[in-house]
Amino acid sequence: MSALLRDQRGFTLAELLVTIAILGMIMGAVLGVQMTSSTMFLRGENQAESQQSARAAMLLEEDLRMAGYGCPALGCTAPGTTAANCPAPAAGALVINAANASCVDFWADAVNASTTLTAAAAAGATTLTVASTAAISTGNTIYVVNGNTSESRSVTAKTGTTLTVAALTNAYPQGVLVGRPRRIVYAINAATGTLTKDAGDGNGAQSLATGVTGLTFSYFNTAADAAIPIAAGTPPALSATNLLVIGRVQIRTTTQSALASGTGGFGTFQINSNVRPRNLCIQGC
């Protein structure tokens, strides 16, 4: 009977206190590991978010390298409108229409819409037979380019691989470029940290990346690769003369995650890159 009573005893107060203390230490260790893991996860997620924004921002490098493709050697007809957050475009035939530290406005065929003549076109011709019209629509402006001879026309009709235009001034042999450049505009809204892109497809400026805490365009000339000054104004802008001699564009981008990761802070990422557009033709070429 006495053995049975001993088996039914509860824990003593000392035993309970020791057990609670051990459990507390174990739970504290588990909580510490969980908090550390959570902080590391959030830090990694924030870093990935900031890097992704920076990579999205750097898509502009690919477009900028194509500046001038689809245009005649000295550029396309200057646009008549000013893009949001950008300087007014200069007049005349241009590749880069306007530029400053937070915006660049240029002509480029970044989607390979340009094509070539598959049959010679005589002076006065009103139809062009081309390799492909898949990315050309009625109402688009095209450029027929043969060396230093070129002219622009609006497409009034499209049937198969035939484009209808106003009568050509010059004759063009088979194989010459029929360019379909678009006006592309990249601009940063410093107040919201949003980089926008207008792809020239009629949809206007679209958000490309958020969390951009810093984006600066710098310009260098071809002759000596010297920095081109940005003239003071509202807004500041490169002069019309300097737009013609841009040979290199430097892009400095800093992005930041939307939220801080506890003690890890915000995730930030920086990219510095240089772009030399392949199709720029300096005045006098």
pLDDT tens, position by position, 174-200:
999 999 999 999 999 888 888 899 999
Distance between CA atoms of 67 and 225, rounded to whole angstroms?
18
Model confidence at 48, pLDDT cuts 50, 70, 90, reads low
Other C-beta atoms lying within 10 Å of the C-beta of residue 118: 15
Distance between CA atoms of 183 and 204, rounded to whole angstroms?
11
Model confidence at 116, pLDDT cuts 50, 70, 90, reads very high
Other C-beta atoms lying within 10 Å of the C-beta of residue 86: 21
Residues above pLDDT 90, as percent of the chain: 56
Helix (H) or strand (E) holding 48: helix 13-57
Q: Which residue has the higher pLDDT, 272 or 83?
A: 83
E strand residue ranges, 83-146 = 93-94, 96-100, 103-108, 115-116, 127-129, 141-146
pLDDT tens, position by position, 217-257:
999 998 889 999 999 988 999 999 999 999 999 998 887 76
* Contact assessment for residue 212 and residue 53, using Cβ atoms and an 8 Å cutoff: yes
For the CA atoms of the chain, what is the radius of gyration? 31
Compute the C-alpha angle 80/237/185, nearest 5°: 50
Q: What is the reported pLDDT for 118?
A: 97
Model confidence at 35, pLDDT cuts 50, 70, 90, reads low
Compute the C-alpha angle 94/178/282, nearest 5°: 30
Q: Which of 209, 178, 216, 173 is nearest to 193 (CA)?
A: 209
Q: What is the reported pLDDT for 153?
A: 97
Q: What is the reported pLDDT for 282?
A: 53
Q: What is the DSSP code (8-state) at residue 262? A: G
- Dihedral angle, C-alpha 205, 181, 69, 252, nearest 10 °: -10
Boundaries of every domain in the chain: 48-111+182-285, 115-180
Q: Which residue has the higher pLDDT, 94 or 5?
A: 94
Model confidence at 20, pLDDT cuts 50, 70, 90, reads confident
Buried b (16+ CB within 10 A) or exposed e, 139-168: ebbbbbbbeeebbbbebeebeebebebeeb
Partners of 141 in the beta sheet? Answer: 154
Lowest-pLDDT choice from 21-25, 60-64, 229-233: 21-25
Question: Distance between the two ends of the chain, CA-based, in angstroms?
Answer: 114
* Contact assessment for residue 102 and residue 60, using Cβ atoms and an 8 Å cutoff: no
Percent helix, strand and coil across the chain, each rounded to 5? 25, 35, 40
pTM of the model: 0.80
Residues above pLDDT 70, as percent of the chain: 80
Helix (H) or strand (E) holding 15: helix 13-57
